Amino acid sequence: MELSLVIEALITAPQGLNDRQLVPNAVGWEKNKNKYVSRCINLAKSMDPTRLAESAADLNLKLMRWRAMPSLNLDKLSSVKCLLIGAGTLGCQVARMLMAWGVRKITLLDNGRVAMSNPLRQSLYTLDDCLNGGDFKAFAAAKSLKRIFPAVEAKGEVMAIPMPGHPVTNQEEKSVVDDCSRLYDLVDSHDAVFLLTDTRESRWLPTLLCASANKITITAALGFDSFLVMRHGPGPFSSAHAKTSSVDMDNLTLSDKGGKRLGCYFCNDVVAPTDSTANRTLDQQCTVTRPGLAPIASSLAVELFVSILHHPDGMFAEGDITNSTSSSGSSEPPLGILPHQIRGSLFQFSQMTLVGHSSNSCTACCDTVVSEYRKKGIEFLLQAINHPTYLEDLTGLTELKKSANSFNLDWDDEKDDYDDDDDDCVEI
């Protein structure tokens, strides 16, 4: 009381105060069913932290639409379902960038556990996730996303991806078959797939499934100081009646565009994917990259994805290059050009956009491989997993390499003598 400010106030009591039927002349009392009751206001929406966070996040995106991009489709972004294969350095960054763009449905797939070395580079994990052997990355990442933004529908899936060059025993075959079926269901139930794994061969099966189902597919891959971000082209049998993303606006076909199909991650390979870790020493089995590389590649991957959603032609859009005009002709897409591949280097602090069309001998997306998969299903997948040369034989890469080895080039080793007075020139 010593520190309190005490003020005396004189309040005049209204007449008839002792009458129980008296209704004081005060704000907030309203007549309801011939009775005067107090008026209540529900402040839950204004006080609930979850609703406040959702409102603030949506407001930021709405400001983008009001001030900079009137065509920004927030409903499409909030309804699209994204599957992130790999919850490591790339997966953590991609998930956060997707949430920033308003994506609310995210599934993370990984079978690894959080290690002590992970939290510094993988932004969704903390030291607590590393204790007691480490939590599964997929579950820990989904939990972290919900802590960051409670309105997100994030879930984790723990499973190993069957890979070519990693043969399975008879005892493991049932587990691999179950994993293939489970991955098929996940790809089928999502609109877009991000390939963010460490090894090349782990991207093969998701690439094949996406090509068969005609899903939006984004790949991000890292070197020590270089990166690749690319979008896969539509599947070889894409058509207006094929199953496409539920968020596609125009549902165009490749024939409607009259262009060539863009390639996938494996279209430039002349060898089938195989075990890339078997002969590595322990120090070589860990991905070594400059710390700033993953955030750059992840941001570009998400920006590329959002540009696909807002392009008039969607995943069927042709590949643009830097400073090129829009592939649609007259008007530019709302978010600028839509490249096929983005390759960058931190060594030179450079970046370039490239276009690569699909290959008839691709081990993942060519019509021969997709047709064989649709025809034989799990039998085809087991053949590709257990026999390293199966895909090369099927696509004709084996014959191509034989032809290259049998090609002999005769070099003329004769040296011509030139006088000192002759001009210093060589005829080529």
Residue 177 inside a domain? The answer is yes
Residue 8 inside a domain? The answer is no
Are 107 and 86 in contact, with CB atoms under 8 Å apart?
no
| Residue 286 designated active-site | yes
Domain ranges, residue 270: 50-327+334-402
Are 228 and 294 in contact, with CB atoms under 8 Å apart?
no
> How many Cα atoms are found within 13 Å in the side-chain-facing hemisphere of 165?
16
Residue 21 inside a domain? The answer is no
Cα(239)–Cα(365) distance, integer angstroms:
15
Residue 88 inside a domain? The answer is yes
Residue 37 inside a domain? The answer is no
Nearest CA-CA partner of 142 in 123, 126, 128, 156? 156
Residue 290 inside a domain? The answer is yes
Catalytic residue among 40, 286, 362, 365: 286
210 three-state secondary structure: helix
Residue 358: its pLDDT value, please?
A: 93
Residue 80: its pLDDT value, please?
A: 97
CATH number at residue 91: 3.40.50.720
DSSP β-bridge partners for residue 105:
81, 153
Residue 252: its pLDDT value, please?
A: 44
Cα(385)–Cα(29) distance, integer angstroms:
75
Sequence-ordered list of residues with C-beta below 8 angstroms from that of 58, at least 6 positions apart, any chain: 74, 102
Cα(118)–Cα(53) distance, integer angstroms:
28
Q: How many domains, in total, are found in the chain?
A: 1
pTM of the model: 0.81
Question: DSSP code of 319?
Answer: P
CA 16 → CA 13, 22, 308, distances in Å?
9, 7, 73
CA 364 → CA 236, 264, 359, distances in Å?
11, 8, 10
CA angle 211, 214, 220 (to 5 degrees): 60
Residue 250 inside a domain? The answer is yes
Cα(313)–Cα(282) distance, integer angstroms:
46
Nearest CA-CA partner of 177 in 195, 156, 162, 197? 162
Are 156 and 141 in contact, with CB atoms under 8 Å apart?
yes
**Consecutive sets of 10 residues in the chain, 428 residues long: mean pLDDT of each?**
75 72 65 76 79 85 91 94 97 97 97 94 96 96 95 95 93 94 97 95 96 96 95 80 39 51 94 81 69 96 97 91 57 86 95 94 94 95 93 91 72 56 45
Write a three-state SS string for 69-133: CCCCCHHHHHHCEEEEECCCHHHHHHHHHHHHCCCCEEEEECCCECCCCCCCCCCCCCHHHHCCC
Element (H, E) at 404: helix 397-406
Residue 246: its pLDDT value, please?
A: 38
The single residue listed with the structure tokens 């556990």 is 113
Residue 172 inside a domain? The answer is yes
